[in-house]
Structure 1
């Protein structure tokens, strides 16, 4: 399925009436944020806004306190409950602007109040690893999505892109390779069963 068809599907959601939420899930490095940004750009700010799951990363200081800093990106290194609460609030589409957090990769920290979601915007595109993860607190997320897509690109390409991204954001190549093999790929295995819950799988 090409980008034009994906844009058509997203536009149909945006014009269906009321506030809709499109979820884009998949393993680390699958291209979720890139696709979400392209869809939002194609639809324009009057129709769509991107709210990434990564804004609900726990702060680095909290990860250190919990002893989870070396597993950053695992399901229990996010505020899954807070993310679900935000999605419920966004579904209501009241009269007020809702401010969502973003994740600053240059800081490796979430930043609160970064993304304004205006009440008249009909489509929220949310993306992240664990939207279709059925375990624990994450199980509350999938029922809040009007449509869910799962990205499943070639694993070798995905790992290469992921390693390059870590290097761009400050890890040396050896550290980036080790992190991907140990942490990101462990998370990818957790994410994989979610494809069976998706409305659309993109390979």
Structure 2
């Protein structure tokens, strides 16, 4: 199913998940720069307080020293630069919901590193919104996540807007103008092509107009 980005419509879909019994997981996937974190934040703000928590996939970035040891430093952001099995284990804990609180890591761009235990998800929180690039990949271990999501959305935006956002983001966090363009058109673009191949696994494909939610 395809739909334009409409926060009221999406909020109603999320509220239907909240109204069901037990814990529900909602995936928001999309390419780098598509606007996933902006949409997720807007969705949480629109939902009743305490009814949803946000857990980003970015918290499972491998540390830079690990990437250097694995000769993957120049591929940071690609699927193989995440602790995908650890991410899956967290999703299982969140889905099973047998613990009083589950703590998730959070990635801090200013540090270029994840901080453990930064996001607490209490058992009484009915909806967990999971946001990330690779949530719907059909390769293991990522594919094992599909059955844990009660609903999956895939967010798209035109490539010109998406690349401009990425260039600005890289510059804002310390890259030179030349390096920001090189990274956006190189590593980010390869990752975006891979992410787009997973869109068919979404229940809803959302097309975003650039000015929306910004």
> Does 2:14 align with 1:3?
no
Cα distance in structure 2, aligned partners of 1:39 and 1:13: 13
Moved more, 42-51 or 146-155: 42-51
- Structure showing the higher helix proportion among its residues: 1
Task: Give the 3 Å change call, closer, same or farther, for CA 87–12 of structure 1 in structure 2.
Answer: same
Structure 2: any 5+ residue segments left out of the alignment?
Answer: 208-214
> Does 2:151 align with 1:144?
no
Contact kept, 8 Å, 1:45 with 1:121, in 2: the verdict is no
Which among 34, 53, 64 is matched to residue 57 of structure 2?
Answer: 53
> Does 2:102 align with 1:98?
yes
> Does 2:202 align with 1:190?
no
Equivalent pairs counted in the alignment come to 203
Match of 1:87 in 2: 91
Q: What SS class does the counterpart of residue 50 from structure 1 fall into?
A: strand
> Does 2:169 align with 1:199?
no
Which among 64, 73, 96 is matched to residue 77 of structure 2?
Answer: 73
Per-residue deviation at 1:177? 0.4
Cα distance in structure 1, aligned partners of 2:37 and 2:21: 25
- TM-score, normalisation: structure 2: 0.93
Cα distance in structure 2, aligned partners of 1:8 and 1:128: 21
> Does 2:129 align with 1:125?
yes
Cα distance in structure 1, aligned partners of 2:99 and 2:48: 20
Match of 1:113 in 2: 117
Query: For 1:66-102, what per-residue CA distance to the aligned partner results, in whole angstroms no more than 9, with x for missing partners?
Result: 0000000001000111101100100111241110000
Cα distance in structure 1, aligned partners of 2:184 and 2:83: 22
> Does 2:180 align with 1:176?
yes
- TM-score, normalisation: structure 1: 0.98
Per-residue deviation at 1:162? 1.1
Which among 11, 14, 31 is matched to residue 27 of structure 1?
Answer: 31
Match of 1:163 in 2: 167
Contact kept, 8 Å, 1:21 with 1:144, in 2: the verdict is yes
Cα distance in structure 1, aligned partners of 2:132 and 2:50: 23
Per-residue deviation at 1:34? 0.8
